[in-house]
Structure 1
Amino acid sequence: MAILIAIIGNKGGTGKTTLSHLLCHGLGLLGYKSACILTDTAREPLSPEGRRYVIADARSAATLERIVTKLRTLDDWVGVLDGGGNRPEIDKRLYGIADLALLPFRESAEDIRTVIRDLEQYPRAYAVPSQWPVSNRWQRQAADKLVAQMMGPYRHRILRPVPALSATKLLLLKQIPAHLPTPLNNAARQFARQMVELLALTEETPETVESDTHEYRIPEEEMPLRYRR
C-alpha cells in the first residue's frame, strides 16, 4: 500500500509546491517510486517527461479520490499531496487521508505564528523550515534565533531546514533540464531521507547519481534549535 505525505498549511508563499517536487525528486534519487499530486487549483500540472517521479492532476475532489484510491492499491509507492495556501477545508481533507503531514514555513514571525496554529490543529504534522538562508551567516543566525524563541515547545516537531537554493526553480519548469545541479540533488536527497526515517521505510536502493556525503540525522546542537532557551 502506498504511503501519502501531505504538504499543507494556511500560510501562502512558504514553498509547498517547491517542497513537493523537491521531495519527489529526492525520493526518485533514492530509488523510490513517487507521485507528485497537484491539488492547488491556482496551478497547472507540469510535464512528467524527464522526471524521476510521476505527475498527477488532482485539482477536483473526484479526481483526488480516484488517484488516492489507486495509489493505496500500489506497493512501494509514495504519494506527495501538494496543497495550497489559505485553504483550511482542503488542508483538513488532505491531512485526514495522509500518513504524514508537513507544514513549511519561512523566516518571518508571521509564518511562525501561522505554523504554530497549524501544529496545534494537526497533531501528526511536522514543521519544515523552508527556503532557509544558507549563504548569509547573520541572516541564518537571526532566522534560527527567531525559531528558537517562538517555537521552543514544538522543538521535537521541527525538521531539518531545507536550504534556499535558486536551482529549486528548475523543478517547477514545465519541462525540466536533462541535468540538474549537484547542490539541488543533494538537498533533495537530504529532505527525502528525513521522510524515509520518519516513516520507517526500508533502506533505499543503490543510487545512480552523484553521492551525497552530508549526514541527514539532526545532531542535538544543530540549527535552528541550537539557540533554544
Structure 2
Amino acid sequence: MADIICVIGNKGGTGKTTLSHMLCQGLGLLGQRSVCVLTDTGREPLQPAGRRYLVADARSREALAKVAGKIRSLPAWMGVIDGGGNRTEMDRKLYGLADLVLLPFRDSHEDIHALMRDLEMFPRAYAIPMQWPINAWQREAAETAVQDMLAPYRDRLLDPVFALSASKLLLQKEIPGALPTQLANAARGVAHQVLELLQITIEHAGEEASQPRDQPAHAVSAGAGFGGALKAA
C-alpha cells in the first residue's frame, strides 16, 4: 500500500507547491515512484512530460477521494498531496489522510508565528524551512529566530531547503529537457529526509550527484533534523 505525504499549512506563499514538486522529483531520482497531487483551485495542472513523477488533478472533493484511493491501491508508490493556503478545513482533512505531514515555512516572523499555530493544530506534522538564506549573515539571523521562537518544536524541525532559483523550473507547465545538478541535489536531499521519516530504504539510489560547491555543508545532512542545532544551543 502506498504512503501519502501531505504538504499543508494555513499561510500562503510558504513554498508548499515548490516543496511538493521538489520532493517528487527527488523521489524519482532515487528510483521511487510517486505522484504529485494538485488540490489548490487557484493553480492549473502541470504537464507530466519530462518529470520523474506523475501528476494528478484533485481540485474537487470527489477527485481527491478518487485519487487518494487510487494511490493507496498502488504498492510501493508514494503520493504527495500539495495543499493550499488559507484552507484550515482542507488541511484538517489532509492531515487525517496522511502518513506524513510537512509544514513548509520561510524566513519571516509572520511565517514562524503561523507555523507555530499549525504545529499545535497538527501534532504529527514536521516543519521544513523553505528558500532558506544562503548568505552567512542572513542565515545566522534566520537560525537565531528559529532558536528563539521554535525551541519547543525542535524535534519536529527538518533540515532546510536553501534558496535556489532553479526550483521554479519544476513549477513551469512544461519543464526543460535538462535540469541543473544543483536542483537535483536539493530535491534528493528533501526526498532522503522524507524516506528516513517513513523508515523506507531505497536500494537503488539512482543518479546520485555530488554536493554543490555553493551549498552550505549542513544542508545535506538529510534527515538529521534542523532542530539538531537547537539541541546544542
Count of aligned pairs? 225
Q: Structure 1 CA distance, aligned partners of 2:137 and 2:231?
A: 15
What root-mean-square deviation, in Å, do the aligned CA atoms of Structure 1 and Structure 2 show? 1.6
Note the residue ranges of structure 1 that are not aligned, 5 or more in a row.
none
Letter paired with 2:94? L
Alignment-derived partner of residue 188 in structure 1: 187
| Secondary structure in structure 1 of the residue aligned to 2:150 | helix
Q: Is the 8 A contact 2:159 2:225 kept in 1?
A: no
Q: Is the 8 A contact 1:182 1:210 kept in 2?
A: no
Structure-2 change in CA distance of 1:219 and 1:120 (3 Å): closer
Q: Structure 2 CA distance, aligned partners of 1:226 and 1:5?
A: 26
Residues 1:147 and 2:146 aligned together: yes
Alignment-derived partner of residue 161 in structure 2: 162
Tell me the TM-score normalized by structure 2. 0.92
Q: Is the 8 A contact 1:22 1:168 kept in 2?
A: yes
Alignment-derived partner of residue 18 in structure 1: 18
Q: Structure 2 CA distance, aligned partners of 1:83 and 1:90?
A: 8
Q: Structure 1 CA distance, aligned partners of 2:199 and 2:180?
A: 28
Note the residue ranges of structure 2 that are not aligned, 5 or more in a row.
212-219
Q: CA deviation at 1:3?
A: 0.3
Q: Structure 1 CA distance, aligned partners of 2:44 and 2:226?
A: 40
Structure-2 change in CA distance of 1:178 and 1:92 (3 Å): same
Alignment-derived partner of residue 216 in structure 1: 222
Structure-2 change in CA distance of 1:7 and 1:221 (3 Å): closer
Q: Is the 8 A contact 1:144 1:227 kept in 2?
A: no
Alignment-derived partner of residue 79 in structure 1: 79
Q: Is the 8 A contact 1:148 1:227 kept in 2?
A: no
Q: Is the 8 A contact 1:32 1:204 kept in 2?
A: no
Alignment-derived partner of residue 96 in structure 1: 96
Letter paired with 2:99? D
Q: CA deviation at 1:205?
A: 1.3
Q: Is the 8 A contact 1:6 1:83 kept in 2?
A: yes
Alignment-derived partner of residue 110 in structure 2: 110
Q: Is the 8 A contact 1:189 1:212 kept in 2?
A: no
Letter paired with 1:184? L
